[in-house]
Structure 1
Amino acid sequence: MLYPDNSADKLGFNEIKELIKANCLSTMGQQMVDRIQVMNNFDQIKKFLSQAHEFKNILQNDTALPIQHFFDIKTLANKARIEGAFLTEDEFYQVQASLSTVFAVIAYFNEREGQYPNLEALFEHLPIERSILKSIGQVIDEKGKIRPNASRELMEITSGIAKAEQEARRKIDQIFKSAAANNWTADGSLTIRDGRLCIPLLAENKRKLKGFVHDESASGQTVYIEPEEVFTLNNRIRDLEFDRRREIVKILTALTDELRPFVPLLLSYHGLLTKLDFVRAKSLFAIQIEGEMPEVVNEAKLKLVNARHPLLYLNFKKEGKTVVPLNVHIDESTRVIVVSGPNAGGKSVCMKTVGLLQMMVQSGLLIPAADNSVAGVFKQLFVDIGDDQSIESDLSTYSAHLSKMKHFAENANGKTMILIDEFGTGTDPQFGGPIAEAVLEALNHKKVKGMVTTHYSNLKIFASNTEGLENASMLFDNREMRPLYVLEVGKPGSSYAFEIAQKIGLPANVLNLAKNKISAGQKKVDTLLVDLEREKKEIFDTKVKLDRQQKHLNLVLSENEKLKSFLDENRKMLLRNAKQEAQNIILNANKLVENTIAGIKSSNADKEETRKLRENLNNELKKTIVKPEPVKKNDEEIKAGDWVKLTDSETTGQVIEVNKDNVVIAIGDLRTVAKKKRVQKVSKAQVPKEVRRSSLSSTNDYASFSPEIDVRGMRGDEALYAIERVLDRALMMSVNNIKILHGKGDGILRKLIREYLRKYDQVSHMEDEHADRGGDGITYVYLK
C-alpha cells in the first residue's frame, strides 16, 4: 500500500510509533505498537479509532480503569502446556496478578454496560474462570510466596525446620556463653560463615572446643567454629530444607497440571491485556497531541479542520509556542492541490501533515484536528519527498524522482493519495517543468487525489486551467518579510525569491543584476502574484472591519426600532387615557348639569335654592377641572428604584443605577442615560400601570442578568452564539467585564472563543482566571 517502503520514515510515522511505545506498560504492548500498519479496511479502521476514542474518554472523564499489573502470561501459559514442566512461585504470582487485573477490568465494563461498546467487544464471550485464581490462591500467598500449609507434608516439614532451628540456636547460644565465660572467644558475637552460625574463637583456643572450622580472620588470630553438637542439628535442618524444596516442586507441579487445561483461556486473557495496554498507549498519546476522532467515511476523500502536525505540535508545546492550524479539503471536485509559495513558508510541512494524519487515521490513531474533520480511506499512498539518490543503484536525484513518477503513473488510481514535494526539480527547469506537467496531467486523468508542492509557474497555470486541480499558496507577509504558515486555497503563491534575498542581505547590485536576467513576462507574473496577495489581504482586513461596523450598526438600528416602537405605544396609550379621562369628565359634568336643572325645576325656580344649586355646580366643576401644577425643581435625592420623568418629555421610567451626575433609566426593554438635572422624581401612582409592568419586567431582566456564562460541553457554534448574546446585553447595560467558563479540555474551545472575541472593537483585552480558581479554563473579557 505504501510506496516507497521508506514512506513511513519520510512522513515521521515511525517517530509517532516510538512516542506511543513510551506509554506502554508492557513489552507485549510495545510489540503490538511495532506491528501497527496502515489499513484499508473501513470497518477495521473505524473499530480501532472508536476503541482509542472510548479509552480516551475513560482517561479524561471516568474513573480510572483498574489496570495494575501486566505480565507476559503467554510465555508462562506455553511453559505450562508442556507435560512435566511446572511454574515457579513467582510465575504463578504473575499469572494470579494478571488474572486479577483481567477480572477487575471486565467487572469495570460490566458496570458500564453499553457505554463503551467497542472496548467491551475486546472481551465479548470471554469466560471468567475464577477457579484458576482460587486454586493458585490456595498455594501462593499475596506476596507471591508458597503458603506453609499448601500441603500437610509441607506443613510438617516446615514445622520440623522451625523446631530444629530453634534447638540449634538454643544450643549454640549455650556453648557461646560458656566459651565467653572461659575467655575463649574473640571480640564480637555469633556470626554466619558458609551459611552456618559460628562462634568466633581466639586461634590459641580452637582446640578447646570440638567442632568444624569454617573460616578464619585475615590476621589469623580469630577462627570461626561450628560446635559439634550444633553441626549435627544444622545438617538435620539442611536435610529438611531439601525435603521442603522437593515438596514445593511436587505442589507446583500438581498446580501446573491443574492449570494446563486452561492454557487456551490464559492465552485469551493475555490477548485482552495486550490489547488494553495497546489501546491505552494510543489514547494517552492522543491526549498528549490533543487528538480527536474524525468522521470516517468509506470514500477516497479528506477534510481537515484546524489540523496540526503532531510532532511539530509536541516540539512547539515544549517551547511554549503554538502551531498554526491547517484547513484543507480534498474530494472529487478538488482532487489535487498544487501548493506554491516562498521557501521556508511551510509548504512541505503542510503536505507532510496531510500525509501523516491520513496514515494515522488508517492505522487507527486519533489525530490532532477538530472532531468535525472527515477522513476517508485510500487504498494506496504514494510519497515522493526528499532526495533518494543512490550510489549503489547508480541513481541521481532526478533519476530517483523519475523512477517514482513512473511507478505513480503506472499504478495510481482513484483511490490513491499522492504526495510530491518540489515537483519537477532536480534537472533543467526548462525541461523539468513540462515533464512534471505531463506527469500531473496523467495522474489527474486517473482521478488520483493528494497534494504537490512546486515553484514552477507552468504547473501553477496548468492547475488554474484544469478541472480537478486547485492552486493553493502559503501566505507570506511581504511587509514584515515573514511567512504566516497559513494555507490559502484558490490562488497560486509567489516564491518571494527577491524579497527573501533582500531580507537576508544579498547586495543590491547582485539583486538588480538578477532581476534584469529574468524575462519580462516572468517578472510581471511574479509581481502580479505579490500584488494580488497584498490586495487580497487588504480586502480581507477591510471586510472584517466592515463586518464589525455593520454588526454594530445593526445593533444600533435594532435599539432605535425598539425605542421608536416603545415611544409610539406610550404616546398611543397616553392619548387613549387622556380621551377616556376627558369622556369621563364630560359625562360627569353632563350628569351634574342635568341634576342641577332637575333640582331647579323641582324647587319651582326658588331663588335661594337655585343659588345653592349653582354654587354647588361651580364647586364640582372646579374639582373636576384640575389646573396643571407648575413643575417644581426636585431637590429629593434620586436613587436606584425611583420612578422619574424626563423634564423635556412625558416619558417615564425607573432608575436602575446612579453614576455621579448621570442616571441609567429603564424605559420598557430599553436603557438610556440622562443627566440628573434632566429628570424629575415622580410617585409610583403617577406612572401608568402598563409602563410599571413593562419596566418591572425589564428591571427584573437587568437584575437577573449575570455577566458570567458557562459554555462547557457546547459545540463551537453554540458556544459562540450564547457568548454573543451575553456580550450584546453586557454592552447595552454598560457592564465592564464578562466571565466565560469554557473548561480546559484540549484547549480548542478556549482558542475558538478568544479568536472570535478579538474581532470586537468593544473588547479591550482578555486574560485567564487565577490558577487557584480555574486558570486557563476560564476567560475574563474586559470591555471598553
Structure 2
Amino acid sequence: MNSKTLRVLEYDKIKRMLVEKAESQLGKQVAEKLMPSTEIKEVEYIQKETHEAVNIIIRRGRPPLGGIHDVLSEVKRAEIGSSLMPGNLLRIADTLRAARRLRSFIKQDKQDKDSKYEILQDVILSLNSYKDIEESIFNAIISEEEISDNASTTLKNIRRQIHSKNSAIRNKLNSIINSSTNRKYLQDALITIREDRFVVPVKQEYKPNFPGLVHDQSSSGATLFIEPMAIVELNNDLKELKLKEKAEIERILAELTEMVAVEGHGIRENQKQLSHLDFVFAKAKLSLEMNGTKPLLNDSGYIKIKAGRHPLLKEKEVVPTNIHIGEDFTTLMITGPNTGGKTVTLKTVGLFTLMAQAGLQVPAEYGTQMAVFDNLFADIGDEQSIEQSLSTFSSHMTNIVEILKNVDENSLVLFDELGAGTDPTEGAALAMAILNYLHGKKIRTIATTHYSELKIYALTTEGIENASVEFDVETLSPTYKLLIGVPGKSNAFEISMRLGLQDFIINDAKELLSKENVEFEDVLASIEKDRRISEENREESERLKEEVNKLKANLDKEKEKIDAMKQRLIREAKSEARKIVKEAKAEAEYIVDEIKNISSEIEKDRRKKLQEAKDKLKTKLDDIEGDLVENVLSKKSKKPPKNVKEGETVKLINLNQVGTVINPPDSDGNLVVQVGIMKVNAHISTVEKAKDNSQSATSAKTKTMIRAKSKSIKNEIDLRGKNLEEAILDVDKFLDDVYIAGLGQVYIIHGKGTGVLREGIKQLLKTHRHVKSYRLGKHGEGGTGVTVVEIK
C-alpha cells in the first residue's frame, strides 16, 4: 500500500488503538507491524480469525493473556549452558503458565462447548504445556532475589543450620556484651556485622584488653569493630555454611536451567503462538470497543457500507452513512457545501478498506461489503484533516501525477476537491479529463467537488454517479447524510439570504449567472424537493410496513407464549408431583434413620453402663506386675527339685509365690507355673517344691494383690501428645494391667493426627499375647482416633 495514503487516511492512529489493546509487549510488537494484505484468501483468513476471537470474548469472557514475556534470549542462554538467574526463570514460568491457562480456558467452558473455533482452537491447543517445569520454578523461586527453602532438602537443612549457627553466635555475643567485665570495654552494647562476620564495637583504648580480630573502625578511629575470639570458630562455621548455601542455590538454578534447555524448541514455539494470540484478541477487543462487524469480502471491486461510522470519531458524535460503489457505477462524484462531511465520507471509505484488508472489523452494520484492492490511493492534501483543508493546487497535482503513474484496474482512488486551487474553468476541465481516464480503465474512484460542470458531467456520463451531502437550509447546518443519485446544490444564494444579504444583491447575482446555470440549479432544487417528498413517503411506507410486521410478530409471540405456558404448566405439575413424592420418600428415610440412631444410642448407653458396672466390680492390679517381675531370676534354689510334674505345687523363690505347674520342665529346664490368674515362665533353678500350707497363703496373697490392682485400673489409656516409642511402652504395660484386672474390653485413645501413632499401635496389637481382637472406634466411640481392644 502507498505510504502517503496510509498517512493521510490516519491508518497509524488505528494501529495505535490496536497496540493499546494488546496485553504483552510481544503482542504490541505484532500490532505495530500490521499492514493491509492484498490477497483475498489471506484477508478472509485473518477476518475469520478476528471474528472467532470476538465470539470467544462475548461468550466466554476475556482470555487469560497476562504473564506473556519475551523469553527467547533466556532460552538461548539456557541452551548454550549458561545458568539463568531467578528473575529469568520466573519470566519463563510466567509464560509457561500463560500457555497452560489459555489451553484450559479454551477447553473448560461447558456452556459454549458446541461452538467451533476452527482457527483459534487449533492454535491454542497446539501450545505446549510444561507444568512440571512451571511448578518446579515457582516451588523453588520466591522472587527475583530469593530462593525458597523448599527448593531442595539440602538447602532447607543448610538454612536450618545457618539459623541455628546465627542463634548460637548471637547468644554468645549477648553473653559477652552483657558481661559486667566487658561492658566498660564496649562503645555500645550492640552486635553488628562487618565483612559478613559478627562483631562488637570496642573502644580503641581497650583493644589490648579485648582479644579478637579487628575488621573495621569508625571514621573517627575511636571505635574498633572486633570479632571476639570466642566466636571466631562459630563465624568460620557460619561462613562455610553460607558458601554451601550459595553452591546449592547455584546447583538448583543450573538444574532448572537444564529443564528449560531441554524444552527450548517447544518454549520458543509457545512464545510465537502466544504473541500472535495476544495480537488476535487485541483486534477483537478493538472491534468490541468500536462496535465493529465482520465485513463480507469480494475481489470484484464492490463496496457497500451500511451505517458506517468513521472509526476515529466518537460513536455518539458521528452520523452513520450509507455508501456503495462498484456495481452499477465505478465513479462516484460527491458534491455539497463545506463542513458537510464530504472528506469524512472519503476517509471512511478509505480507512474501512485498509482495516478490512488488515483483518480488522469495521464500525458498520451487518451486511457491509468491502472489496480487496491491490492498491489504494488518496489525494486529500498534505495538511488535510477532517476539520479543515490547507492543500494547494501544486501539492494536489504532484500527488495526482504519482497516482496516475501507479494505478491499475484493481485500485481504489479517492480525490478530495479534485481540480481545486486554480481557475474554476480550467480546474473543472482538468478534473473531467482525469476522471475520464480512470473511468475508461474501470478504476473505482470517489471524488468530491464544488464545480457545477462536474455535476453535469456525472449526470451525462454512464457509469458515473452523482452524490451529495444533505444540507438543511433552515438551520444552515449539514445533516451529514450521503444521498447517492442526487447532485448537491451549492445553496449559496439561500444561505446568503438566510444570513441577511439584501435581496437586490442576490437578484443581481442571479442575473450575472448564465441562463443554463440558473436552470441547472433550479433543476437541482426541484430534484431535491421531489427527493424529500419521495423520502418522506418512503419513510411513511416503511413505518407502516414495520408496524404491520411488529403486529404480526407480536401475535406470533403471543401464540408462542400461550403454547410455552401450556407446556410449562404441564412440566411444573409433573415436577411438583415428583417433588412431593421425593419429599415424602426423604421424610420416610429420615424417620427410619432417626429410629436407627435412637436405637443405637440406647444400645450404646446400655453397653456403657454395663461396662461401668463391670469396672466398679473389678480392682486395679498395677502393683502386682511389678511385684511379679521384680528381681526375676535374681534368686535360685540351692537344690533344684527333680521330677517336677504337671499339676504339682511349687514355690517361685524370687516371687515368694506358690503356683501349679502347667507345663513341666523342658530340656533347658524352663517350665510354666500358674500363679493365681497369671502364667509365669520360670527356670527349674528358681523354684522349689512347696509345702501344703504355703499354697493357700500364696493364693490368698495373690488374690489380695489382684483386688488391689483392679481397684485402680481404668478401661482406657490416652496416648495423645506422646511419641511412638513412649506410646508402645505405655500400651504394653496397660495391656498387662487390664489382663491381670480381668477387663474384657479397653479403649486406646491415640487421636487422628498423621496416623503414625495409630499404625504403630496396630502393629503392636497384631502380636500381643493378651489381645484377642481389635478394631477402630465407631461413631460415638471416637471414630478413627480410638482403637477398641478385646482382651483374652
Shorter chain as normaliser: what TM range?
Answer: 0.5 to 0.7
Determine the C-alpha separation between the residues in 2 that align with 1:720 and 1:87: 72
Q: Out of 481-490 and 173-182, give the one that drifted further.
A: 173-182
**Pairs within 5 Å for 1:376-525:** 376-387=371-382, 397-500=392-495, 518-525=513-520
Kept in 2, the 8 Å contact 1:54–1:116? The answer is yes
Q: In structure 1, which of residues 5, 18, 41 is the aligned counterpart of residue 39 of structure 2?
A: 41
Contact 2:24–2:69 (Cα < 8 Å) also in 1? yes
Task: Look up the equivalent residue of 1:409 and give its one-letter code.
Answer: L
Could you say what the CA RMSD is over the residues aligned between the two structures, in angstroms? 3.7
Deviation, 1:270, is 0.1
Q: What amino acid sits opposite 1:487 in the alignment?
A: L
Indicate the residue corresponding to 1:50 in structure 2: 48
Deviations 1:113-153, CA, capped at 9 Å, x for gaps:
75222211324655545454465467546999544464566
AA matched with 2:322: N
User: Which whole-Å deviations, capped at 9, do the CAs of 1:616-662 have from their partners, x for residues lacking one?
Assistant: xxxxxxxxxxxxxxxxxxxxxxxxxxxxxxxxxxxxxxxxxxxxxxx
Q: Within 2, Cα distance between the matches of 1:507 and 1:9?
A: 45
Distance 1:543 1:357, change over 3 A: closer
- Shift of residue 479, structure 1, vs aligned partner: 1.1
Deviation of 1:294 (Å): 1.9
Instruction: Give the match for residue 261 of structure 1.
Output: 262
Corresponding residue number in structure 1 for 2:74: 76
SS in 2 for 1:98: helix
The match for 1:731 is none
Cα 1:487–1:272, aligned 2, differ >3 Å: closer, same or farther?
A: same
| Amino acid across the alignment from 2:23 | L
Q: Unpaired segments of 5 or more residues in structure 2? A: 385-390, 560-792
Task: In structure 2, give the amino acid aligned to 1:49.
Answer: Q
Among 15, 18, 24, the alignment partner of 1:17 is 15
Task: Show the 5 A alignment for 1:240-255.
Answer: 240-255=241-256
Offset of 1:41 from its aligned partner?
1.8
Distance of aligned partners of 1:411 and 1:201 in 2 relative to their CA distance in 1, 3 Å threshold: same
| SS of match in other structure, 1:312 | coil
TM-score w.r.t. the length of structure 2 is 0.62
With over 3 angstroms needed to count, the CA separation of the structure-2 counterparts of 1:726 and 1:257, relative to structure 1, is closer
| C-alpha spacing 1:443/1:187, structure 2 compared with 1 (3 Å) | same
Tell whether the 8 Å contact from 1:292 to 1:368 is kept in structure 2 after alignment: yes
Aligned counterparts of 2:142 and 2:103: Cα–Cα separation in 1: 23
Assess if the C-alpha contact under 8 Å between 1:51 and 1:279 holds in 2.
Answer: yes
Q: Partners in 1 of 2:46 and 2:460 — Cα distance?
A: 41
Shift in CA distance, 125/35, structure 1 to aligned 2, threshold 3 Å: same
Cα displacement (A) at 1:259: 2.8
What's the secondary structure of 1:22's corresponding residue?
A: helix
Question: Which stretch shows the higher mean deviation, 264-273 or 55-64?
Answer: 55-64
Matches within 5 A, 1:179-578: 182=183, 190=191, 199=200, 209-210=210-211, 212=214, 214=216, 216=218, 227-230=228-231, 233-234=234-235, 236-313=237-314, 321-387=316-382, 397-500=392-495, 518-542=513-537, 544-545=539-540
Distance 1:228 1:531, change over 3 A: farther
User: 1:142, 1:454 → 2: CA distance?
Assistant: 65
Task: Supply the distance in 2 between the matched residues of 1:47 and 1:494 (Cα, whole angstroms).
Answer: 44
Q: Give 2:328's aligned amino acid.
A: S
Q: Cα distance, 1:222 vs. partner?
A: 7.1
Q: Secondary structure of 2:553's match?
A: helix
Question: What is the rounded CA distance, in whole Å, between the counterparts of 1:426 and 1:234 in structure 2?
Answer: 90
CA distance in structure 2 between the partners assigned to 1:520 and 1:126 by the alignment: 75
Alpha carbons of structure 1 residues 178 and 397: separation in structure 2 relative to 1, 3 Å: same
Q: In structure 2, how many angstroms separate the alpha carbons of the residues matched to 1:550 and 1:134?
A: 65
SS of the residue corresponding to residue 433 of structure 1 reads helix
Q: Does 1:168 align with 2:169?
A: yes
User: Residue 269 of structure 1: CA displacement?
Assistant: 0.3
Mark the CA change 1:270 to 1:503 in structure 2 (over 3 Å): closer, same or farther. farther
Partner of 1:88: 85
Of residues 475-484 and 441-450 in structure 1, the stretch that sits farther from structure 2 once superposed is 441-450
- Partner secondary structure for residue 277 of structure 1: helix
Rounded to whole Å, the distance in 1 between the matches of 2:150 and 2:70 is: 28
Post-superposition shift, 1:397?
A: 3.6
Q: Could you tell me how far apart the structure 2 residues matched to 1:205 and 1:113 are?
A: 86
Aligned residues: 549
User: What is the CA-CA distance between 1:15 and the residue it aligns to?
Assistant: 0.5
**Compared with structure 1, are the counterparts of its residues 86 and 143 closer, same or farther at alpha carbon in structure 2 (3 Å cutoff)?**
closer
- Residues 483, 114 of structure 1: alpha-carbon distance in 2 compared, 3 angstrom cutoff: closer
Matches within 5 A, 1:669-708: none
Q: Distance in 2 between matches of 1:387 and 1:92?
A: 50
TM-score (norm 1): 0.63
1:47 deviation in Å? 2.1
Q: Which amino acid aligns with 1:106?
A: R
- Which residue does 1:722 correspond to in 2? 553
Distance in 2, matches of 1:214 and 1:507, equals 100
Query: Using the alignment, how far apart are the partners of 1:278 and 1:361 within structure 2?
Result: 16
**Contact between 2:470 and 2:482, CA under 8 Å: does it hold in 1?**
yes
1:51–1:175: structure 2 CA closer, same or farther, 3 Å change rule?
Answer: farther
Pair member with larger Rg: 2
Aligned to 1:97: 94
The separation in 1 between residues aligned to 2:226 and 2:494, in whole angstroms, is: 93
Query: Match of 1:306, SS?
Result: strand
Secondary structure at 1:6 match in 2: helix
Is the Cα contact below 8 Å between 1:424 and 1:435 reproduced in 2? yes
For residues 215 and 457 of structure 1, the distance between their equivalents in structure 2, rounded to whole angstroms, comes to 97
Distance 1:451 1:48 in 2: 27
2:178 aligns with: 177
Amino acid at match of 2:33: R
Structure 2 residue identity aligned to 1:80 = A
What is the identity, as a one-letter code, of the residue corresponding to 1:172?
L
Conservation of the 8 A alpha-carbon contact between 1:92 and 1:144: no
Contact 1:337 1:471 in 2 (8 A): yes
* 1:330 CA drift (Å): 1.8
Equivalent residues of 1:53, 1:283 under 8 A apart: yes
Instruction: Tell me which amino acid in the other structure corresponds to 1:165.
Output: N
CA distance 1:341–1:193, shift in 2 (3 Å): farther
Which amino acid is 2:43 matched to? Answer: I
Distance 1:127 1:223, change over 3 A: closer
Q: Displacement, 1:431?
A: 1.0
Secondary structure class of the residue paired with 1:343 = coil
Q: How much does 1:34 deviate? A: 0.8
Counterpart residue type for residue 541 of structure 1: E
Residue 59 of structure 2 is matched in structure 1 by: 61
Once the two structures are overlaid, the 10-residue window that deviates more, 149-158 or 35-44, is 149-158
Residue 286 of structure 1, CA deviation = 1.1
Is the Cα–Cα contact under 8 Å of residues 93 and 144 in structure 1 kept in the other structure?
Answer: no
Structure 2 distance, partners of 1:364, 1:550, is 37
One-letter identity of the residue aligned with 1:281: A
C-alpha displacement at 1:227, in angstroms?
4.2
**C-alpha contact (below 8 Å) 2:36/2:358 kept by paired residues:** yes
- Structure 1 residues 178-220: Cα deviation after superposition (integer angstroms, max 9, x where no partner): 26983666678545667665546677777764553646489x8
- 1:297 deviates by 3.0
Give the distance between the partners of 1:517 and 1:186, measured in 2 at CA.
109
Paired residue type of 1:382? F
Measure how far apart 1:457 and its partner are.
1.6
Gaps of 5+ in 1: 390-395, 556-716, 729-784
* TM-aligned CA distance change 1:149 to 1:325, over 3 Å: closer
